[in-house]
Amino acid sequence: MTNTKTADKTILLVGTYDTKEPEMRFIEECIKAQGAAVLTMDVSVLGDPKTPTDISKHDVAASGGMTIDQVIAQGDENKAFRVMSAGAAKLVANAYAEGRFDAMLATGGTMGTDLALDCAQVLPMGVPKYIVSTVSFSPLIPPHRLAPDIQMILWAGGLYGMNSICKSSLSQAAGAVVGAARAAIMPDQSKPMIGITSLGSSCLSYMKTLKPALEDRGFEVAIFHSTGMGGMAFEKLAAEGAFVCVMDFCMQEFGNLMAGSLVSSGEDRLRNAGKRGTPQMVAPGALDLLDFAGWQTIPEQYADRPFHEHNRLIKSSVFNGDERRAWIREMANRLGTANGPTHFFLPTGGVEAWDQEGGEAYAPEALADMVDEARKVMPNATDMTEVPAHINDPEFCDAVLSLFDQWVEAGIVKQAQSTRS
């Protein structure tokens, strides 16, 4: 029974209403029963819903640059949905900017999910975005397609037609998105924020010193766990200009990207802060580690290298000297294109907890190669400070905070009101 009280939140509901109208209307009723309103968007191509939606397939096609007849005339389902995806994403972004909805719930199989992922990507961090999909959690979905704060629910029994299993999934999704819309707190942009990348708190521990020290200076600090999705969130926020300064000290995802590991945060790693002109400090923390999913077999080429099994989800091998030299060169290439102040810190005593003597990733010759390459190439790309200590030693944080204070004093980093007495 539909709740008749005034709706406090509006949910954008996206799906193919030609083939899934019963399912979409069921979700709509579940949402309305909780006292929320619904804004419906039809992304069908061939058929029409029995009842019109708020945003029609004709609107979506037009936003993608074609009429629906032109979309159909392509004669290819993939090409058709590429147009509809582009159009839907534009309409979603515009509708949110106009304040027409508070959260999004999209449904689909592979085609609908492909489109829904594009729609989720255009929404800011903090806006609830849910996808009910027959391929949720599937390796078919590459990490770079996922919005950093996306939520996915498996559409169990949802391939064709309604059933009690399907209703269970859809009703849970409806409850989740309405609850999220009511509970969500958008990021506070009133206090200058610093983004820091790290890896756990035992592998890299500098944030334990930096976070309170920076907060004492009046800044908000967000620490991103650099295991793929964390770096994606960091890069998205950097691209949006969310930070007044970044301390990008964990390069584990970057090394993984270069080596082709699936534990990666995408091709734009180490690019967005520089492109935006945000002051950035960078260090090669954990650049020695090559990560694999826990279920993967370590390839033969890495079998004779130091190895660390972190848990059942992730394990690491170690890069050799030549690989580390190559990663440093590519880091220099990317940092050299930055439009804002950039500074590289080189801790010569080691780059993560397990690379010290007696640790599972101890490889002093490879570390020496990395240090040597950085000395050669970094000064040509950006300013560099060599720190004769391990990255987890107090000397590293001392060097970082010293430069940070200079940047604040010079107006390079936006000054925050100090909370120090």
Cα–Cα dist 228/242, whole Å:
19
* 162-185 confidence digits (pLDDT tens): 899 999 999 999 999 999 999 998
DSSP reduced 3-state for 194:
strand
Would you state the torsion angle of the CA atoms of residues 157, 49, 29, 121, taken in this order, to the nearest 10 degrees?
70
* 127-152 confidence digits (pLDDT tens): 999 999 999 988 888 877 888 889 99
DSSP reduced 3-state for 378:
helix
Would you state the torsion angle of the CA atoms of residues 100, 97, 121, 342, taken in this order, to the nearest 10 degrees?
-160
* 18-35 confidence digits (pLDDT tens): 999 999 999 999 999 999
Task: Judge residue 332's burial from the number of C-beta atoms within 10 Å of its C-beta, 0-12 exposed, 13-18 middle, 19 or more buried.
Answer: buried
Cα–Cα dist 356/26, whole Å:
58
Strands 103-108 and 10-15 turn out to be parallel
pLDDT of residue 360: 86
pLDDT of residue 2: 45
Does pLDDT of 111 surpass 60? yes
pTM over 0.95: no
Cα–Cα dist 153/170, whole Å:
9
* 220-241 confidence digits (pLDDT tens): 999 999 888 889 889 988 998 9
Give me the domains of the chain, ranges plus CATH numbers: 10-183 (3.40.50.12020), 193-409 (3.40.50.12030)
Cα–Cα dist 63/41, whole Å:
13
Give the ranges where 98-224 is alpha helix by DSSP (H).
Answer: 110-121, 164-183, 207-216
